[in-house]
Chain A
Amino acid sequence: MSTLEIRRWAPTGDTVIAVQRGPEPGGAGGLYRAFGETLRGLKTTFGRLVEGTYVYQYPEEKIPVYPRFRGRHKLHRFEDTGLEKCVGCSLCAAACPADCIRVVAAENTPEQRVSAGERYAAVYEINLSRCIFCGYCEVACPFDAITMGHDFELSDYNRDDLIFTKEMLLAEPLERTPLRTEDE
């Protein structure tokens, strides 16, 4: 125990910075100051009144989203051949933390070619009422077949309507969301 040296921390000179304390509350002075501070607060809020508003009137004015905004998913086709990019590998379904993707794969045949690979997704469903829009499916996809779009206005009256099928995901979405330009 003798090796333990107790050193008091006793700063001196420049290391000591005196904290500025406000006056003690209470008393007549405190009352006077409280009154003054209240007036100062009133002035501050009045300044906000003069300043005007900073509000987007949402359904009419939409805030443009960033290019990497993660909205509703899209499935893609090859532009030249028109074949689906998705090969039904189910990696997206495996990566999905919310377990909202269902893929049922089927073999491509020479008569019916749907995708570029050996197999294609016969069923591809995303339950958007479960999706958390994390974008892991997009990352997991080896063929960039699924990407996150920009659409975020997805409310519906019926839960069943929020299960998006392959046709809905492949269809060119109605661009309802403005995209931010480069300088915005």
Chain B
Amino acid sequence: MSLVTATVGYAESWWIQILKSLIIFIVGFSMVPLALMMDRKLMGRFQNRFGPNRVGPFGALQPMADIFKLLVKEEFRPRTATGFLFALAPAISILTACVAFAIVPFGNTVDIFGTQVGLYGIDPSIGVLFAFAFSAIAVYGLMLGGWASGSKYSFLGAMRSAAQLISYEVSMGLSLVGVIITCGTLSLTEIVGHQESAGMWLFIPQFVGFVVFMVAAFAETSRPPFDLPEADAELVAGYNTEYGGGRFALYYAAEYFHMVIASGIAVTMFFGGWLLPFGIDPPTWVDPIVVLVKITLVIAIFVWVRATLPRLRYDQLMSLGWKVLLPLATANALVTAILVTVLD
């Protein structure tokens, strides 16, 4: 009898784990308004205007105002909605996002007052597969939400979302295979460790993989130019058409959370996690800050691309995913595998 299990890299005592998860939860949820604000402010700058600048200094309190507005609004529910699932779906969305954020490492194991603590939520041996597993479950959030709303627009949006997310999941997974082959491990901390010992961040040798990953990440987080799930001009708002108030806020937060997670994984896999370039070796307490800054920069790339590219047609989206990204990712994985075998 064999049981498929994953080992956890380093397990602390239970109270450290609870503390850690709380801190990571808080950090993650602080990144969401930050991402939201960056999205709006940078988007404005890219269009020669200021973004929101009325609420608070430089409009910094705008996300709070938005969230407050959403929370005090009526929780509308259509008569055709399937009650239980309608309420559950946004929760699934945000929960999976929170869980997936746990694997983004903010630093290696450090010594805090004589206790060994890993600066990450969890470091399972399956590493990045953990994130993929949860982003696959996140599709249920969208699909159930769209279906349980009992509305045509929601349903169409949900169908689109599901098709898009599942299609791009494949290329996203394959694009990281190159990295995994190069490092010989799935664990995210060990991947960063490999980049440290190799002295080179992986986006240079794995450039194709990086590009494919980024494109797939845009699609996975349904950011423009792949925002077909909520293509405002075609569908009313996609799967969350019938949602309002707090549940909509959950969906909205989950979307930005996914962006933060995708950035976190990109930073870890391709941009050396907590490492600084040119062999600068800062004290350990700088590591999380480095990761956060890098995540912010990758989010800026997300916004930049949003400001640049128009939305794809649905068939273009599908053909890009299956005919371009998937072969590219496969070729990248193959070439990497061959090179790694030959050079060894």
Contacts and interface: CB of A to CB of B under 8 A. Distances in A.
Interface of A: 31, 35, 38, 41-42, 44-46, 48-49, 51-55, 57
Interface in B11-64: 42, 44-50
A60 to B, nearest CB: 11
A55 B46 contact: no
B308 A45 contact: yes
B308 A38 contact: yes
B307 A45 contact: yes
Contacts of B50: 53, 55, 57
26 contacts: A31-B324, A38-B308, A38-B309, A41-B308, A41-B309, A42-B305, A42-B308, A44-B308, A45-B46, A45-B304, A45-B307, A45-B308, A46-B46, A46-B304, A48-B45, A48-B46, A48-B47, A48-B48, A51-B48, A53-B45, A53-B48, A53-B49, A53-B50, A54-B49, A55-B48, A55-B50
A7 to B, nearest CB: 43
A75 B48 CA distance: 41
Listed residue (A35, A41, A52) with the most chain B CB atoms within 10 angstroms of its CB: A41
B9 to A, nearest CB: 37
Interface string B299-338: 0000011011100000000000000100000000000000
B48 A52 contact: yes
A28 B1 CA distance: 48
Contacts of A48: 45-48, 307
Contacts of B307: 45, 48
Which A-B residue pairs are the 3 nearest by beta carbons? A41-B308, A45-B308, A55-B49
Given A48-B46, A49-B45, 19 more contacts: A31-B324, A38-B308, A38-B309, A41-B308, A41-B309, A42-B304, A42-B308, A44-B308, A45-B304, A45-B307, A48-B45, A48-B48, A48-B307, A49-B42, A49-B46, A53-B49, A54-B48, A55-B48, A57-B50
A54 to B, nearest CB: 5
A36 to B, nearest CB: 13
Main secondary structure of the interface of A (DSSP, over half): helix
Contacts of A42: 304-305, 308
Contacts of B324: 31
Interface string B167-178: 000000000000
Contacts of A45: 46, 304, 307-308
A78 to B, nearest CB: 46
Nearest to A52: B48
Interface in B127-158: none
A31 B319 CA distance: 12
Contacts of B304: 42, 45-46
Interface string B88-122: 00000000000000000000000000000000000
Contacts of B45: 48-49, 53
Nearest to B53: A57
Residue among B44, B48, B308, B324 with most chain A CB within 10 A: B308
A140 to B, nearest CB: 41
A55 B51 CA distance: 11
A23 to B, nearest CB: 17
A38 B48 CA distance: 20
Nearest to B307: A45
A111 to B, nearest CB: 57
A48 B44 CA distance: 10
B21 to A, nearest CB: 37
Contacts of A38: 308-309
B297 to A, nearest CB: 14
Contacts of A55: 48-50
Interface string B273-310: 00000000000000000000000000000001101110
Interface centre among B42, B44, B46 (most CB of A within 10 A): B46
Contacts of B49: 53-55
Contacts of B44: 53
Contacts of B308: 38, 41-42, 44-45
